[in-house]
Amino acid sequence: MNSINSVAPLPPYTRLFGPVTNGKIFRLLKLYLLLVTVGSALLLVAHQDALQIFGLGLMVPGGGFLAHADICTGSGIAHIAAWLCSVSALALALLIWFGTGNVLLPPLVWLGSALWAASMGHGAIQPGVVYNVYRMLALLAAALCLSMLAWFVFAGRQRRIDNEYLVRQTARLDTIFTAHSPSQKPEMSLEHLQRVRFALDRALQPVDEFSGFEQRDQFQTAALRYQVNFLAYGIAVTQARFTPALGGYMSDAQSKLLHKQTQHRTWAYWSLENLWGNLRWNPDPTARENIMFTGFAALQMALFQASTESQEFSKTAAFTLAHPNGRRYEHSFESLLANLEKEYERAPFYLMACEPNWVYPLCNTMGATALCAHDAQYGQAKWARHAPQFRRHLDAEFLDGKGRYVPCRSTYTGLALPAMGGAMPLAMPCYFLNALAPDLARRQWLLLRRQLFDSHGRLRRNAFWPIDTGNYGFSRGSAYAAAALAAAELGDACVYQNCMDALEHSCPTILEHGVAHRSKASVWAHGVELMALSGGRNSFRDLISNPLPSKGPRLENLSYPDVLVAAAHSDDASGSLQAVLYGGAGDGVQSLGVSGLRPLAAYRVTGASLTQVLADDMGQVRLQVPLAGRTCLTLEPAGAL
């Protein structure tokens, strides 16, 4: 089932985990049982105190410190403190593993604490300690089994309740998804233009400059590459909806943002991640897995081509990553997609990893939309070959007991992080899924939607994470923007308006020199908000499946920000152009070009200094346009009625 008018049911909950996840978890359990077996052998066979304590440390993280722990002596209390410190160090190592992909750190901390305890030389293990350790392990195993059984029963019941809820909601979809499809020739408001300028000011600076971007870290969600990605996505969907007949600065902005992705500072993180996560030294971020770079950049190219029909990055080596050591990694739209396909086919979960070992469903839906867009642009079937397996693994391996997509799952251990982060990580996949599997997008959105309002119909503030994903600051800006983005795409006008109102209330707009921004929101959140403002019901899906043609007249060669284009639409059948302009630097006469006209044909003009112009032999004209507030400009063949 993949109908745009249906809602997919949740699959029956007949097993705790999917088959691939089960295999990974069983392998992890066997590895731990091996540690317990080796530790037990050392305890029972070895005669040296140090080896016995080391065995205890293998069985339990920091367990070697428990060999001399008690609550009656200062020394015993110190050993308890050392055990607590070692457990805390392991927890920190696990957090770093998740945050940076450093798979070596957790086992090194575990092994290091065992060696440290064994080297202390405090004598034989105290009587009763070994028995207590085994009893503790048995109790933990029993508690784990009971909790998993309870969760299985609860989740199975919850799945049935949720599916009944989805059936009821399916009968009233018209009252939920109430937004109309976007109008044919929409126009941005001046306020909207001012928000677009936030993205354009950062995009149009020299490629090697990153003024206005945030520098927090390069491993997680505040990374520079994500800011570039989402500003580019925002500009692309804005151009596609409001200014498809505009070349000039909008196309330049998208091109420059793609070239910013080739700057070494945006992908330098990978050499470390690949080394400590995959145990490989290859700084090319597209060579293995790493959908957070390959897939995101491919989607950036797909949207650039869909909104402008530029083939700049489809050329061989158009996307070249130059390493400071002189090595060059030459790529293009086609080569990135080829890497995606190769990784999908060899990935155990079918979905591919982001950071080494961690598979994020959201990231994979973004890479998949790039493949889907390529099919529409080139008449191929890359995505069609992968869609059934992708969908099957997504539902089998990445849904938790409550029917939510887990944030990420480990390819080494099979373990997943619990759903966290509030509405945002549950809402964002709905946006991209709407282009791939609309029935899944609607299902996930309906399950999330019921959590967003209280019994009085008011937006529940605590459903939105108080930490901005884009810079780790204390702000709900990114959460509101992300939920509004998904709501706009699915046509949920109620959620969209509530989230946009909450965004303005929590992060008020500041207008400086004609540029609107929110001081409490990250650059990433600004990009997501721009996507939401420029979206509409199914607008992203339509752009992916029906890329814009480049026929008809186009505005070109205009000066930014002196000329701001709120709308630019052409009609190839009549050969006409309609545009709405503002003066970004104030009113006055500005020069701009128009291309795509019929060579040597006469055109009637309104809104410019001349009322009639003659296209040159290249089908181009130059106009002088007096800007005064909202200015309408039209060109149509002189023979048109």
Output the pLDDT for position 640: 52
Q: Sheet with 588-595: list strands edge to edge.
A: 554-556, 588-595, 621-627
Q: pLDDT tens across 128-142, in order?
A: 888 888 999 999 999
Share of the chain above pLDDT 70, in %: 99
* CA distance linking residue 320 with residue 311, whole number of Å: 15
Mark 132-163 as b/e (b = at least 16 C-beta within 10 Å).
Answer: ebeeeeeeeeeeeeeeeeeeeeebeebbeebb
Q: pLDDT tens across 584-638, in order?
A: 988 999 999 999 999 999 999 999 888 899 999 999 999 999 999 999 999 999 8
Q: pLDDT tens across 381-398, in order?
A: 889 999 999 999 999 999
For residue 536, pLDDT beyond 70: yes
Mark 315-334 as b/e (b = at least 16 C-beta within 10 Å).
Answer: eeebbebeeeeeeebebbbb
Fold of 161-545: Glycosyltransferase (1.50.10)
Mean pLDDT score of the chain: 92
Identify which of 176, 159, 39, 172 has the alpha carbon closest to the alpha carbon of residue 111.
39
DSSP output for 118-159: HTT---SPPTTHHHHHHHHHHHHHHHHHHHHHHHHHHHHHHH
For residue 335, pLDDT beyond 80: yes
Query: Which pTM value belongs to this model?
Result: 0.93
Cα 525 to the center of its chain, rounded Å: 12
Q: pLDDT tens across 12-24, in order?
A: 999 999 999 999 9
Domain with residues 554-637, CATH architecture = Sandwich (2.60)
Q: pLDDT tens across 39-70, in order?
A: 999 998 888 999 999 999 999 999 889 888 88
> CA-based Rg of the chain, rounded to a whole angstrom?
29
Domain positions in the chain are 161-545, 554-637
Task: Quickly state the pLDDT bin for 2 (edges 50, 70, 90).
Answer: very low
For residue 550, pLDDT beyond 70: no
